[in-house]
Structure 1
C-alpha cells in the first residue's frame, strides 16, 4: 500500500513540475530515479548528512560529479551534506553557514572525518529596521524570504566571498539564504570556465533582478530539473558557466 500511495504523490509532483517548467527531461528523470527515491523516502538510515550528498536533485548531483575534480576551489553558501561531499573531492572548500546550531553539527562531523581542506565559517545575520519582504529579489537589500529571517540582514553573510581574489573559485554554490545578494557578490570570484550554481532556481524571484548580470556574451547557462532525494518534491538548479 505504501508504494502505491507514494507513487501517486511522486508522479503528481512530477507532472506538476513538468507543466510548470516545460522540460520533458523531468518525466524521464522521474522514471529513472523513482525506485531510488522510494528507497530513501522516510528512511531513517538515509539523509543527506549520512549519505554525504548535497540535498539537490539526482541529476544535479550527477552533473556535479562530472565537472568537479581534486584541483577545484569551491565556495558554498549553505552547509550540510554538500560540505561533506565537496570536502572529499576538491582541493579547497570555503563554506559559510548562518545558523549557529547547524554550524556546530556540521563542524563536528567535519572534525570526525578529519577534513583539513575546508575553511568553515559561521556568519550570523544581524537585525535591521529596513526589512521589507517585497525587496527579497533585490541584491543590495540583503534580506531573505525565509519566515525565520524576518527582520534580519544577511549583508555580512553575502559579502563573505569578497575576502577572496577575483577569478579564484572554480565553483560557487548558492544554496543558502539571501541568494540574489550572494550571486551578485560571487560574479567576479568565478574563474573563466568556472561555474556559479543556483539551487532551487524554480523560485523565480532569485533571478528576477539578477538575470541581466548573466549576459550571453559572458556566461552560458544550463538548467537541470529532477526529483529531490528524501522527499516527494522536484527542484531545478541552474549552472552559469563563465566564458
Structure 2
C-alpha cells in the first residue's frame, strides 16, 4: 500500500513559508518533519503557478524525494487531484506548508490505522496543526467534482452530504490549546520560542494559557523585552519601564501641550518625547545620561546630577524653576523627590511613581497623599522582568488626565 505526503502550500496565502526559524525556512522544517515518518518515502507539491510560488521551486533540487509541479489551476482541491491522477497512491498524507510541529509518532499511528480501516478520509478532530489529514485517492476520485468547488475538501465534507467513509482522530488528553500553524507574526514568534528553547509543546495545555493565551503579553511585546532586556513593544517602539496597565491608561490621555519631568531617563524619556511638548530628565549615571542625550530629540533636556552632592538630585525639579503637568519618580532618593515634586506641579499636574510596591518608600507616598492627592494603583507585568509590579498615579481634582 503506497503512502505519499502532499504539502498544500501557497506563498500568496502564507508569505511566511520562507521566513526562517533557526536559520531554516518554515517550509523546510515541514518537509524534514515528514521525512522522519517511516511510511512516507516521497513528498509531492502542486503549486499554483504565480510569481510568489516560483520562489519555492528550489525545493525540488534540495530534496530528492520531493516532486514539485506548477499548475495554472488556482483551486487547491483540484490541484491535489491533478497531482495524483497518474500515480493514484493508496493513501495521501496531506499537510500544509507551515505544519512544522507535526506529531511524528501520532501521524505514523494514523497511517497504520488508515491502512487497517480502509476508510476514505481520516483527520484530526481539533485541527490544531499537530496531525495531518489522510485520504485515499479512491475517495478523492469519488467526489472530485464537488470537492473541486472548494479549496479545502474538508469544507465540502463538513457542509454537504457525501458518500465518503470518515474517521476522526483524537490526539489524546495532552492536546494543547494552541493551534500550531504559522500564519501571522504571533504564531511565528511562538514557533520560534518552541524551537529555540526545545519546549515540550504537548504540555502547553498546562501552562500555555498564561504564556500565549489572551493575556496581551505578546501584543505588549513582553517576550521580546524579556529576551533583549530592552523596554519595547512588539513593533520595536520604546515604552516606559512601568506596568502595562499603567501604560495603557496613560497612552490615550497624554496631550501634546504637556510638560514632563523625569527622575531617571531611558526608554520612557523617548516615549514621552513623542507625545508631549517638552521633557526634562535628571540622571545620576553619567554615561547613561550621555547615551540618552545622544538619541533623544530636540524637545528633551537631560541633566546629569552627582548623587554625592546632598539633596541636589531630588531638588532638580525645583531648581528648574518650572511647573510640570507630569512628574515621574523612578530613580534614587525617592522620598525627597516626592517632597520636591509636589511643589513643582501645575495646578492640574500629576505624579507617577513607578515600582510603588516598595515599602521602603512609603514615607514619600504618604507625604504626597497628605498634600491632598488621591491615588490609582496599576498592578501587573511590565517590560523586561517576569515579576508583578505596581505603578501609582497621584492626582487631584481637575487633573490633566481627566481622572
How high is the TM-score relative to the length of structure 2? 0.43
C-alpha distance 4-63 of structure 1, shift in aligned 2 (>3 A): farther
RMSD: 3.0
Q: Where does residue 78 of structure 1 map in the other structure? A: 264
1:65-114 C-alpha deviation (Å, 9 max, x unpaired): 1221100010000000001111111111111000011111111112xxxx
Alpha-carbon distance, 1:171 to partner: 0.4
Q: 2:295 aligns with which of 98, 106, 109?
A: 109
Q: How many residues are treated as equivalent by the alignment?
A: 193
Q: How does 1:12-31 map to 2 (within 5 A)?
A: none
Q: 1:165 to 1:32 in 2, by over 3 A?
A: same
Among 117, 120, 123, the residue aligned to 2:305: 123
User: Tell me, what secondary structure is at the counterpart of 2:313?
Assistant: helix
Q: Distance in 2 between matches of 1:88 and 1:38?
A: 21
Partner Cα separation in structure 2 for residue 154 and residue 86 of structure 1: 28
Question: Distance in 2 between the 1:209 and 1:83 partners?
Answer: 23
The two structures have a TM-score, normalised by structure 1, of 0.69
Measure, in 2, the Cα distance between the counterparts of 1:209 and 1:75: 17
Out of 165, 181, 187, the position equivalent to 2:336 is: 181
State the distance in 2 between where 1:211 and 1:62 align: 25
1:202 and 2:357 correspond = yes
- Other structure's SS at 1:121 match: strand
Counterpart CA distance in 2 for 1:212 and 1:124 is 25
Query: Residue in 2 aligned with 1:59?
Result: 245
CA distance 1:207–1:66, change in 2 (3 Å) = farther
1:171-220 alpha-carbon deviations (Å, 9 max, x no partner): 000001111110111102112222101100000121235404413x7212
How far apart, in 2, do the equivalents of 1:230 and 1:102 lie?
Answer: 18
Q: Secondary structure at the match of 1:43?
A: helix
Larger radius of gyration: 2
Aligned to 2:318: 162
User: Structure 1 unaligned runs (5+)?
Assistant: 12-29, 127-152
Residue 39 (structure 1) aligns with: 223
Which runs of at least 4 in structure 1 moved beyond 4 Å after TM superposition?
A: 1-8
Is the 2:225–2:231 contact (alpha carbons within 8 Å) kept by the matching residues of 1?
no
**Residue 227 (1) aligns with residue 381 (2):** yes
